[in-house]
Amino acid sequence: MSWDKCVVYMHSGGTFVTNPCATYVGGEVLQWDFDLYFLCYYTLCEMVAEVGYRAVRNFLYCEGGIDFSKGLSVCYDNSSFIEMINHIRKIGSIHVYVEHEVDTPDVVDVPCCCLPLGKGK
């Protein structure tokens, strides 16, 4: 693998669980091949939108790939993204975990059918 090529493993649709140890549960993992010179923070946002997710709180990655024992780093803008790119250059791939925001539900105004109160016995 040359220095400008990388593989991004995007973990999305799951949730972080920290007990008994940190892990990302559920969701799906998609593999994307990229040229590092064309990869940016907004590309990650487009990748998540392409698979049907709208609300993203953070992108997190781990220097240990899928082993969270080294800790997670947050990628939230282009400057933090550059730090992630420097990590990708070392190993040629990265596992990115999507922390989803809770979607705000659409509230529908449904008329309430109230029954008159009667005399109880």
What pLDDT, on the 0 to 100 scale, is given for residue 64?
A: 64
Structure tokens at 46: 């487009």
Within a domain: residue 70?
yes
What pLDDT, on the 0 to 100 scale, is given for residue 46?
A: 87
- Structural domain boundaries enclosing 37: 5-100
Within a domain: residue 113?
no
What band does 114 get if pLDDT is binned at 50, 70 and 90?
A: low
37-69, pLDDT tens digit by residue? 888 888 888 888 888 887 788 888 987 667 777
Contacts 24+ apart (CB under 8 A), 76-82: 76/41, 77/41, 78/40, 78/41, 80/41, 81/40, 81/41, 81/44
Within a domain: residue 109?
no
Domain count, the chain: 1
Pairwise CA distance, residues 5 & 54, whole Å = 27
What band does 29 get if pLDDT is binned at 50, 70 and 90?
A: very high
Within a domain: residue 40?
yes
> What pTM did the predictor assign?
0.74
Within a domain: residue 108?
no
Give the domain CATH number at 63: 3.10.20.90
Burial label for 12, CB within 10 Å (0-12, 13-18, 19+), is buried
Helix and strand element counts for the chain (H, E): 2, 7
Within a domain: residue 58?
yes
Within a domain: residue 110?
no
What pLDDT, on the 0 to 100 scale, is given for residue 1?
A: 47
Within a domain: residue 120?
no
